[in-house]
A and B are shown apart, each in its own frame.
Chain A
């Protein structure tokens, strides 16, 4: 009897969800592509430098046939071709991928922290405070978010960058790094507009959870409101939060690409998939590879993220479970 108990594997909630996720082919595809992408983005630039000597910023000084045409079509040496200045596009796409993925992930984290806390506190406290907090959300919702981001970026960009962002970018990238502080600003700007839906999702979850008996039981054992919100309620709302976060990443990345495409986001010397596409579009008729490769890479990544998000929703949301 006792031995039998040992043999039965613990079927935790997460293990169950993981099993369901693995059954979803598109989600697995998404996960694999994303894993490959992340690895490529991290170690790719180093490998290219080691094999061909090119980095994202390396401009060859001497090119055969004079300096008339520096953008070459894809070849063995440059699998994605080179750009106007003769830089290797593969290296630039991988380098840009770092920025794009970072923007996606960090902005989502910002939105996660702000949105979850905001929604959980509003939902738990209820009443007037809830009303006030959610009306603030409604108001920010009503303003087109692209407008907010553009205003934020142009007001706080350049010489007006808030001290904390300069401090952060100096901490990570060294002093006087204008381009990097612009990227950090982008993280915050995008994070600050994408927490709204997260707050609503979490608030809805908390509202349905807070009248459950285990909350009363926790209160009866003397747990503080903070403890109840963050130790008891938020973990219960984690499923929808994870799902929504994975769907926020691609939408943030798309916004970043859009902003960079317009020249508002990531700026030289840094590059992201959006700014690479912006560079490429100028020459689309003559040198199509300058647009196609960054575009396809980004599309593939966004597809994968969306597939994974959908898969996670099916796996984590008990309501949509199929038996």
Chain B
């Protein structure tokens, strides 16, 4: 937004898993860039490689079987792939923080909240026990936990799901990181709590000026939160566009399908909800052509034979499709009718 500098740039990142069933190309050549203060949404079905891409950024891929085969990960001018594990550890939690999907399992059930919250700051900021505790209480208040002074000595099981996710956010933000990766932060929560947590992340983002990568499979979540969206499918970026443009004029049949699958409150009762036919492909055995061809409504012979090009349909808006321009033109035409 205000800052122009690039905080993170990923170029041609490939993360493969060597399994007995062959090489699983979980992330296969993705490229994107994140500016300071910006929020990026990564959307995709289960198994599309969203989480693996972000674990790769923090070098959290288990090796073996995983391996970052190729690509560049540059965080604030640092080549993350070239760092030693000890150096990566200094970035983890300090400069890049992560919030996980399931708050029920991402806190250690045996340790008090205080222990887990103070561990980060003592590790990275060199706080003393008392400093770390004060800081932790401050962070808990910041994420909206009342009675922070008493609650800090609780165990995770004494907290509800929403509160635990707040604790996770407090933990992630306690070192004031430059980049926050939120991996489906609201998937395990119910809708009201989901709204609260998203509101909290939004609020903290503006207050602390953190860049955010928000991973989700819920288009509704990214719509209100992000500046830019990446749609991933079978380890590849299928479409990349500014949020508003992606919703208004999708240039990829897959994105169109996703947008159509979002339940509409005005949906007529009794009629079936739309869904993209078929299942995501097995990424260990991908066909030579477009990985989406089998499920695509407008697939032609060329789609099954040749891998599609990454077309720039308008500035900052790319789509991986043989017919990107046609799809883009179609959705632009339909625009006045729907008026997003």
Report Cα–Cα, A219/B168, bound state, in Å.
14
Chain B residues with CB under 8 A of A223: 89, 93, 119, 123
Given A213-B100, A219-B60, answer yes or no on A236-B91 (Cβ-Cβ < 8 Å).
no
Chain B residues with CB under 8 A of A218: 108, 119
Give the residue name and chain of the B residue nearest to A235 (CB).
B110
Chain B residues with CB under 8 A of A238: 110
Tell me if B90 is interfacial: C-beta within 8 Å of chain A. Answer: yes
Given A13-B155, A220-B58, A221-B171, answer yes or no on A213-B90 (Cβ-Cβ < 8 Å).
no
Given A213-B102, A216-B100, A231-B119, answer yes or no on A224-B89 (Cβ-Cβ < 8 Å).
yes
Counted as pairs of residues, one from A and one from B, with CB atoms less than 8 Å apart, the total is 73
Among B111, B123, B147, B171, contact of A235 (Cβ-Cβ < 8 Å):
B111
Residues in B lying within 8 Å of A, measured CB to CB = 58, 60, 64, 89-94, 97-98, 100-102, 105-111, 119-120, 123-124, 147, 154-155, 158, 168, 171-172
Quick check: A217 and B97 within 8 Å, CB to CB?
no
Please provide the 6 A-B residue pairs with the shortest distance between their CB atoms, ordered closest to farther. A221-B93, A222-B93, A222-B92, A220-B98, A213-B105, A217-B106
Give the residue name and chain of the B residue nearest to A5 (CB).
B147
Quick check: A236 and B124 within 8 Å, CB to CB?
no
A98 to chain B, nearest CB (A): 35
Report Cα–Cα, A3/B9, bound state, in Å.
52
Report Cα–Cα, A216/B93, bound state, in Å.
12
A-B contact pairs, 21 of them (CB 8 A): A10-B158, A13-B155, A214-B108, A214-B109, A216-B100, A216-B106, A217-B107, A219-B60, A220-B60, A220-B93, A220-B100, A221-B92, A221-B119, A221-B172, A222-B90, A222-B93, A222-B120, A222-B124, A223-B123, A231-B111, A236-B110
Dominant SS among interface residues on chain A = helix
Chain A residues with CB under 8 A of B101: 213
Among B91, B93, B111, B147, contact of A232 (Cβ-Cβ < 8 Å):
B111
Chain B residues with CB under 8 A of A224: 89
Chain A residues with CB under 8 A of B110: 13, 235-236, 238
Using C-beta atoms within 8 Å of the partner chain, give the interface range for chain A. Answer: 20 to 34
Report Cα–Cα, A50/B158, bound state, in Å.
54
Chain B residues with CB under 8 A of A2: 147
> A86-115: contact bitstring with B at CB < 8 Å (1 yes, 0 no)?
000000000000000000000000000000
> A201-243: contact bitstring with B at CB < 8 Å (1 yes, 0 no)?
0000000000011101111111110010001100110100000
Q: A213-B101, A216-B100, A219-B60 are in contact. List 18 more A-B contacts (CB 8 A).
A: A12-B155, A212-B105, A214-B105, A217-B168, A219-B92, A220-B92, A220-B97, A221-B119, A221-B120, A221-B172, A222-B89, A222-B91, A222-B92, A222-B94, A223-B89, A223-B119, A232-B111, A235-B110
Report Cα–Cα, A127/B64, bound state, in Å.
9
Report Cα–Cα, A238/B111, bound state, in Å.
12
Report Cα–Cα, A224/B102, bound state, in Å.
22
Chain A residues with CB under 8 A of B102: 213
Give the residue name and chain of the B residue nearest to A12 (CB).
B155
Report Cα–Cα, A286/B106, bound state, in Å.
68
